[in-house]
Every structure is written in structure tokens, then in C-alpha cells.
């Protein structure tokens, strides 16, 4: 196991490098880069401002000046080929490119970026005037709150429900719970979120839950028990909206996994030996059936943390990592885009290794070191 773990850790480095390289190259060909956006805004304000630009230069206009030199220039089109640059002093355009770190060749910018990323130095945001790492830390509590609680609720409900459906396959209980599962699968999470807001958050019906935010404005003035209650009070609707789709999928996965194991020969043998049904299910079937369920846990958690919560964060006005990356893409804030991508990818790869370790805890018979000769 130790040798396998070392190999996985060594493989993590080139995998992360290739993923970042592909995304970095893709960003080079996206239109509307940061320099292009600034020039379009400035030229659209009229000739007087354009004249002022050419006279004062970039530094006096308050244009972003990311620290780290080439590290900041993670994505843009070819230099000097920006739409709307006509009529501007070429020297001004060159100054903007230099401020964003776009005056260096693409390969050099990528190597500088990866060197800094190894020590978690993601540079500064182009448009937020803050270090990217500081932004990620600030948004992390929201994403962790949504991801962890939603994932725990999904697993705590879906696994027992899936087992119950497998044991009662074909019964009335299985039929009506399957109807609920089908509805949960069909309803998009963001649509369910809007429904919850309208019905329970001060819409046309009830005003039971807050409309936005993770905590109330006077949260710091509350006592500890009141802080905990206020925190979960704000999380009820977002977590329900996030859980609806994952709950349905995991329930069916658990049921199908148990059904497959129940029909195996070793279950018939265990029953023939006189073991109780509970001992058969939870002493033999559960361990084998849970392998595929546990395998999806890291992906479920990472998805809830960073991707599945984007629209939920926007709808409930929660300032988390999903919303940060979403806005950064539209703003062409490339240090934020690639910085968050690096963190997400690294966590996803690490969680994959954790999954393999979990396999051996659930079923000690699994040996990753075994090889067929």
C-alpha cells in the first residue's frame, strides 16, 4: 500500500501539470481578454477620455497593475491585436500588456505561473485588487458549508433509503419512493431553489427563512447558541436545493448496488447456513455494495463544493468559490480563474487517492499491490 500511495502521489504532479497546461492554452484564444476589455471601455467613453489616455498613460488611469510580473498574465489573445485599439497610443497598449504580464511569451508565462503555484502564490486579481489566495480563503467557508452539509445529508438519507428499497423491491413502499426519486431527478436544483425562495423566503406565501446570505448582519452580537441557530437557519433552503438531485441519484445507485449483491451466490450460501437476514445484509452484502457508493463520495463532495453550487450561490446571494469562479470567467480575471482551477483540481486528485485508501478500509481484501503474472 505504501508503494502504491507513493506512485499515486508522484503521478499527481504530471496530471496536475497537464490539466493546467490545457486550460492555460485554451484561455489564450478566448476573445475579450482583460486588456481588450479595458480598451473597449475606455474608447467607448468618448474622445475626450481617449485624448486623456494618450496624454497620461496607463498608470494615472487606475488601470490594474497586478503584482508578480508575468504571473498575472495567464490568459489573453495575441499582443497588439485588440479590437477597439484604433486611435490609441500603441505605447499605452504596450503599458497595459506589461501591467497584466502579457508582454512575455506564452511558454514563459506558463512556467512562471506553475513555479509560483507550487508555493500557492496565485498572484493578484486583475479587477478586485486583492491576492487570489486571500480571495479563495474568504470564499471557502461558504462553499465548505454548502458542500459538506449537503453531502452528509444526501448520504445519510440516500443510503438507508436505497437499502430499504432494495429489501422491499416491488412493494408499495418501493413504488411511491421511486416516484419521489424520479421527481427529484427531473427537477433542476436551481429551479427548486427559486421555488423555495418564492414559497418560504418572503415571496407571495411564507416568510420563514432569510432571503440571502450565510448569516445575519448582527451575527457577531449573538450568543453562541444563537449563532449556531442563525447559521443553520440561513442554510436550510440552499442545502435543500443542492441536495435534491444528488439525493435521487445516490438512492438509486445504492438500491441497484444492493440488488446486484443480493442476487449473488454467497448471499444464498449465507442464508442457507441459517444466518439472520440482518446479518446477511449488514455483515456481508453491505460491505460489497458500499464499494461503488463510497467511490462516488469524493466526486460528490468536490462537485458540491465547487461546481454544483454555482447557481445556488447566485440565487441565494452566497459569496462562495463557485460564484467567484463564475464571475471571474465573465470578467476575464484569469489569475482568479486559474488559481481556483488549480485548487479545485488539486483537491480532486487528492480526494481520488483518499477514495482508494477508503476502499481498503471497507474491504481489506482489496490489495492495490497485487499484479497478475
**pLDDT tens across 279-298, in order?**
888 777 877 777 777 766 76
Alpha helices (H) in 168-188, listed in sequence order: 172-186
Residue 77: count other Cβ atoms within 10 Å of its Cβ.
18
CB 309 within 8 A of CB 143: yes
CATH of domain 133-331: 1.10.3720.10
Alpha-carbon distance of 255 to 167, in angstroms, equals: 9
Does residue 95 have a pLDDT over 50? yes
Residue 37 region, left (φ>0) first, then alpha (ψ -120 to 50), else beta?
alpha
| Average confidence score pLDDT of the chain | 76
Q: Which of 125-134, 156-165, 298-307 has the lowest mean pLDDT?
A: 298-307
The H or E element containing residue 241 is helix 224-262
Measured CA distances, 258 to 54, 167, 269, 275, 344 (Å): 71, 8, 17, 18, 32
Domain boundaries, the chain: 2-122, 133-331
pLDDT tens sequence across 258-277: 888 887 888 888 888 887 87
Q: Are 125 and 333 in contact (CB under 8 A)?
A: yes
DSSP 203: S
Q: Using alpha carbons only, how large is the chain's radius of gyration in Å? A: 26
| Euclidean distance between CA atoms 143 and 303, whole angstroms | 10
Question: Which grid coordinates belong to 163?
Answer: 437499502
The helix/strand/coil state of 207 is: strand
Distance of CA 18 to the CA centre of its chain: 19
pTM (predicted TM-score): 0.69
DSSP reduced 3-state for 124: strand
Q: Which of 33-37, 80-84, 239-243, 274-278 has the lowest mean pLDDT?
A: 80-84
What pLDDT shows up at residue 47?
Answer: 38
Amino acid at each position: 500500500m505504501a508503494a502504491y500511495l507513493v506512485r499515486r502521489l508522484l503521478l499527481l504532479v504530471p496530471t496536475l501539470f497537464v490539466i493546467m497546461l490545457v486550460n492555460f492554452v485554451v484561455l489564450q484564444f478566448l476573445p475579450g481578454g482583460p486588456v481588450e476589455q479595458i480598451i473597449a471601455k475606455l474608447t467607448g467613453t468618448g474622445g475626450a477620455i481617449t485624448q486623456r489616455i494618450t496624454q497620461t498613460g496607463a498608470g494615472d488611469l487606475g488601470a490594474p497593475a497586478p503584482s508578480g510580473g508575468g504571473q498575472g498574465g495567464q490568459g489573453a489573445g495575441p499582443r497588439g491585436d485588440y479590437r477597439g485599439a484604433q486611435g490609441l497610443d500603441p505605447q499605452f497598449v504596450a503599458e497595459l500588456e506589461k501591467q497584466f504580464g502579457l508582454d512575455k511569451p506564452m511558454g514563459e508565462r506558463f512556467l512562471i505561473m506553475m513555479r509560483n503555484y507550487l508555493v500557492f502564490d496565485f498572484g493578484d486579481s486583475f479587477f478586485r485588487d486583492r491576492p487570489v489566495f486571500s480571495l479563495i480563503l474568504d470564499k471557502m467557508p461558504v462553499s465548505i458549508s454548502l458542500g459538506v452539509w449537503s453531502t452528509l445529508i444526501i448520504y445519510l438519507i440516500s443510503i438507508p433509503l436505497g437499502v430499504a428499497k432494495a429489501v422491499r423491491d416491488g412493494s408499495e413502499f418501493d413504488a411511491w419512493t421511486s416516484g419521489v426519486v424520479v421527481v427529484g431527478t427531473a427537477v433542476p436544483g436551481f429551479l427548486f431553489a427559486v421555488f423555495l425562495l418564492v414559497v418560504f423566503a418572503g415571496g407571495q406565501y411564507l416568510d420563514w427563512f432569510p432571503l440571502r446570505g450565510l448569516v445575519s448582519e448582527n451575527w457577531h452580537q449573538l450568543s453562541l447558541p444563537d449563532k449556531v441557530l442563525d447559521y443553520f437557519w440561513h442554510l436550510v433552503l440552499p442545502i435543500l436545493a443542492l441536495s435534491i438531485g444528488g439525493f435521487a441519484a445516490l438512492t438509486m445507485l445504492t438500491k441497484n448496488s444492493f440488488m446486484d449483491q443480493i442476487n449473488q451466490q454467497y448471499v444464498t450460501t449465507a442464508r442457507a447456513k441459517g444466518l439472520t437476514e440482518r446479518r446477511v445484509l449488514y455483515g456481508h452484502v453491505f460491505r460489497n455494495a458500499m464499494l461503488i457508493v463510497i467511490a462516488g463520495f469524493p466526486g460528490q463532495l468536490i462537485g458540491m463544493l465547487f461546481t454544483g453550487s454555482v447557481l445556488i450561490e447566485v440565487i441565494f446571494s452566497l459569496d462562495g468559490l463557485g460564484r467567484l469562479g463564475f464571475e471571474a470567467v465573465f470578467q476575464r480575471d484569469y489569475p482568479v480563474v486559474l488559481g481556483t482551477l488549480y485548487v479545485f483540481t488539486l483537491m480532486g486528485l487528492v480526494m481520488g487517492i483518499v477514495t482508494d485508501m477508503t476502499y481498503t478500509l471497507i474491504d481489506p481484501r482489496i490489495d492495490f499491490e497485487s499484479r497478475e503474472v
